[in-house]
Chain A
Amino acid sequence: MNLDGWVPMRWPCGPLEIERGKSREGFTAREADALQEWADPRSLELVASSPVNCLVVTWAEGSAGDEGQQRALAPLINAARRRGLSVVGWVASVADPRRAASTAQASGLETIATESSESVPGLDVLRFRERGLGDRSPSDFLGVASTVWPGASASLPTGADATSGPTGPPWLDSNAWYVRLARSLVDPKVLWLAFDPPDLGQPVAAASYLQAIADTEVYGARWLLSLDPHLRLGLLDRRASAMETWAVISRSLAFFGKHRAWTSHLPVGQLGVVSDYAGADEFLSFEVLNLLARQSSLYRILAKSRAQGMPFDGLAAVLYVDQAPPGGDLVRKLYRFAEEGGTLITPPGWEERGVHDDDAWIPRFRVLRYGRGRLAVARQELADPYLLAGDAQLLMSHSRDRVRVFNAGTAQFHHATSGDGRSGILHTLLYPTRYPRMPLTVWFLHPWAKARVFTVDAEEAAPVGRIPAEPGVEFHLPPVPVYCALEVSS
């Protein structure tokens, strides 16, 4: 199985899906027809000119209907194989995975995907799990269910965000931080996220699909593509709007497939976040990463068990999140980091070394000058991730920023550089707004010599003018509707 090359898509069809649909309020006869029609080999024409090359079909749910489902899908599976498509059977956690694997293999499926942890001898099963990283055993494949549909929830029907603008930022959902954490702690070769679009009573906007794809692909994961039922119906009816949405999805998948190499770049981080990312500290550490990403702070994940051996080069600050202090060696390393010019941010109870810094005024911390750096010890137990993420950024200070993006509005950024540091990429994912888009200005502290901008819709990258700044350099970009990548080089 060439998992890395697979571009998977949920392919809901067959009697099991129809039965499941009937249990949902508002399920229509047309939807049932659509689920029937997607079991027809002719439906595969949809993916013929798209990057999708792996279909994930419902295979078993541990009910009497499993056999009928598998029989009904046989023509589709055979047709898919003739077209060079891989087919994976989704097996519910309550079903018997061994039995399902056996019928899957007999039917020509590549493998099965399941949340069950039961072993299946002789088959590389695609294991999915709920969000969480308690199990960090090495694995080539990691599938994560129960991740979120990314974006600002208010923006979903139209792609226009109803709450952002001059009065305040909206709440954003994103899986980006989780993908980075999973890659850091488990390091699977292939990471899939499974989440479905919300049912809005109308098709989800094309821009929202692009957001969902970018939110996973930029960070090195892959979304198990799932279309909303209204879009599926629209595609069957070949409605122009649905076809355009599908075209955007196809272009987006192709774009990120073409630029997969960017995911091997190293994330630029100024704030190291040390935690076990587990147990009692899981909630706070997860949410701090989530909120640091949302406020566009550049962070680096430092698993506590490995932090002692990891370089702190390039970090301006380190945030130690966990309630329990680390072992003696790591404590010494952290204090040394502060002494040599960094900012160490800790929960309460840490030894307050140095001299109180009256100029630093972050109400929830006692700040001390220590050596050439600073120590910030929380006055009270760290509990609120929103405040902690904000405070950590302020304690590090925006004066240490390496990248700033102007006119992005509500947005998400990811900056990474090549191993040799001679090139870099800045992904900018903008959430739609009711206001007209304005030109973007990207400022880098590093005086990159050249830049070019990539968008999903453009065949070729466009060069971007360089404007020297003091310090650093600026690049001015034309208005970007949803996503762009700025590639910079020395």
Chain B
Amino acid sequence: MRVPPALSRRQFLAGSSAVLGLGVRRLVPFARAAPSATVSVAKCDAYGAELLPTLDRMFDQLGGLGRLVKGRTVAVKLNLTGPSTMRLGTRPAGLAHWVHPRVIGAVVHLMDEAGAHRIRLLESGYASAIPLDEYMYQAGWDAGEIVRAGRRVELENTNWLGRGSAYHRFDVPGTGLLFPSYLLNHSFRDCDAFVSLAKLKDHTTTGVTLSMKNCFGNIPTTIYGDHVAKDEPDELPHSGRNRVFHDGARQPPSLAAPEVDPASPRHEGYRIPRVVVDICAARPIDLAIIDGIDSMGGTEGPWSGGEGCHPGVLIAGTNCVNTDAVATAVMGYDPMAPAGTSPFRTSDNFLELAERVGLGTRDLKQIEVAGTPIREARFDFAPLIRSRFPRNLPPYPGEKS
């Protein structure tokens, strides 16, 4: 393992609960903030030959992939949001709102080389229980190529029970900001390390979509979907998560824990950042990887508008708050920005909430960046907000026009 001089062994280990063998049961208590961990930033112009060595170098800057994955089952949450047959104009999903298949393949390959026992790729396919490989084929990807990038690679659609026999409860340390616990697919439990493989892009509600917001997709719609029955989960997913999470128009079925405070605001600008923080506290991210080579700005997917862009950057880190804070800065935004200001114009700043509960710092002064400095990697997303479709939502408290 190649540990860069700037990163102490203690720092590296502190950034990853899985490395410590804590799994999901023991978490850093909210009373104590997680120490900051190095974030690696690298310019990478295309998904070609330079991709693999760039990622390899970045993982080295974080202390080496082997320490995280060797001999372990690694779960990798992909960002494949929205319908598989949707594109931003004619731009394929991997060049816009989805993590690119070659990034997935490269990460799988490197993890396999680093000795991962099993690599399980996860995503909650849009409103369906379709197997994840079929979801990829629908998008025009060759799922077989991704599976063959490692020796033991599995795929699971986590939008439902899947191959598990039961949903697993993940308690949020403390009380939780919105819910005290979440029921998730078994794959989030049956792993020794959890990786969020996300996309560098804006988000209509939460301002930015990075490694933490990616994990909103961990949540199965068979339980938290709009039309799930009152007392039991759906057998198959049918809908989105709007009513339980975005609007708060209903509670989840009785087998899931109800909201901490049913009288809290029903505005998605209040709710979604809190769910994101809850999920990342309940199922901690051990490694965050953000694909910002080709992406989209303005929003998180074509259904909300947006336009394509080419930031040409990759970002990775072992602390999700640190990593997302650096990524936010790479996007030209201020991770310290208060709610109501760009990019968190219509919501609370989830990085701030995460910091407050002890998941990590968003203060760039406390985060070491390895590789390309932020100022050199910076690609301003703010101008791309022009392409966002207008929404008819009441303003969030503090929202400035």
Contact = CB atoms under 8 A, between A and B. Distances in A.
A95 B83 CA distance: 53
Contacts of B85: 404-408
Given A166-B240, A169-B127, A439-B90, A394 B303 contact: no
B134 A167 contact: no
Contact of A476 (B88, B90, B242, B301): B90
Interface in A381-415: 390, 394, 397-399, 401, 404-408
A404 B389 contact: no
B365 to A, nearest CB: 38
Contact of B137 (A397, A408, A435): A397
Contacts of A397: 134, 137
Given A166-B82, A168-B127, A439-B90, A404 B140 contact: yes
A168 B134 contact: no
Contact of B238 (A168, A390, A439): A168
Given A167-B242, A168-B238, A406 B134 contact: no
Which of B83, B142, B143, B238 counts the most A-chain CB atoms under 10 A from its CB? Answer: B83
B134 A398 contact: yes
A435 B88 CA distance: 13
B130 interface: yes
Interface in B119-159: 126-127, 130-131, 133-134, 137-138, 140, 142-144
Interface in B67-98: 82-83, 85-90
Which of B88, B138, B226, B301 counts the most A-chain CB atoms under 10 A from its CB? Answer: B138
A343 B82 CA distance: 30
Nearest to B90: A476
A325 interface: no
Nearest to B240: A167
Interface string B237-275: 011101000000000000000000000000000000000
Nearest to B163: A361
Contacts of A443: 140
B131 A394 contact: yes
A341 B44 CA distance: 42
B302 interface: yes
The bracket for how many chain A residues form the interface is 20 to 34
Given A404-B140, A407-B85, A435-B303, A394 B163 contact: no
A441 B89 CA distance: 8
Nearest to B226: A167
Which of A399, A404, A439, A443 counts the most B-chain CB atoms under 10 A from its CB? Answer: A399
Interface on chain B toward A: helix, strand, loop, or mixed SS?
A: loop
A399 B127 contact: no
Given A167-B240, A167-B242, A435-B303, A441 B87 contact: yes
Contact of B86 (A394, A406, A469): A406
A376 B144 CA distance: 21
B86 A165 contact: no
Contact of A398 (B89, B137, B226, B301): B137
A438 interface: yes
B86 to A, nearest CB: 6
B130 A394 contact: yes
Interface in A440-490: 441, 443, 469, 476
B389 A399 contact: no
A121 interface: no
Contacts of A405: 85
B130 A165 contact: no
Given A167-B127, A169-B127, A404-B138, A399 B240 contact: no
Contacts of A361: 131, 163
B242 to A, nearest CB: 6
Contacts of A407: 85-87, 302
Interface string B354-375: 0000000000000000000000
Contacts of B133: 399
Contacts of B389: 435-436
A165 B127 CA distance: 11
Contact of B143 (A166, A399, A404): A399
Interface string A209-243: 00000000000000000000000000000000000
Which of B85, B87, B88, B137 counts the most A-chain CB atoms under 10 A from its CB? Answer: B85
B87 A398 contact: no
Contacts of B142: 399
A399 B144 contact: yes
A132 to B, nearest CB: 30
A442 B131 CA distance: 23
Interface in B15-70: none
B293 to A, nearest CB: 19
Which of A165, A401, A406, A438 counts the most B-chain CB atoms under 10 A from its CB? Answer: A406
B389 to A, nearest CB: 7
Interface string B206-239: 0000000000000000000010000000000011
B147 to A, nearest CB: 10
Contacts of B303: 165-166, 435
Nearest to A387: B236
B79 to A, nearest CB: 15
Contacts of A399: 133-134, 137, 142-144
B226 A438 contact: no
B134 A394 contact: yes
Contacts of A435: 303, 389
Interface in A156-197: 165-169
Interface of B: 82-83, 85-90, 126-127, 130-131, 133-134, 137-138, 140, 142-144, 163, 226, 238-240, 242, 301-303, 389
Given A166-B303, A167-B239, A168-B226, 5 more contacts: A166-B301, A168-B127, A407-B302, A435-B303, A439-B89
16 contacts: A166-B303, A167-B226, A167-B242, A168-B127, A168-B226, A169-B127, A397-B134, A398-B138, A401-B137, A404-B138, A405-B85, A407-B87, A435-B389, A438-B302, A441-B87, A441-B90
Q: Which 8 A-B pairs have the closest CB atoms?
A: A167-B240, A398-B137, A168-B239, A168-B127, A476-B90, A406-B87, A399-B137, A166-B303
Interface of A: 165-169, 361, 390, 394, 397-399, 401, 404-408, 435-436, 438-439, 441, 443, 469, 476
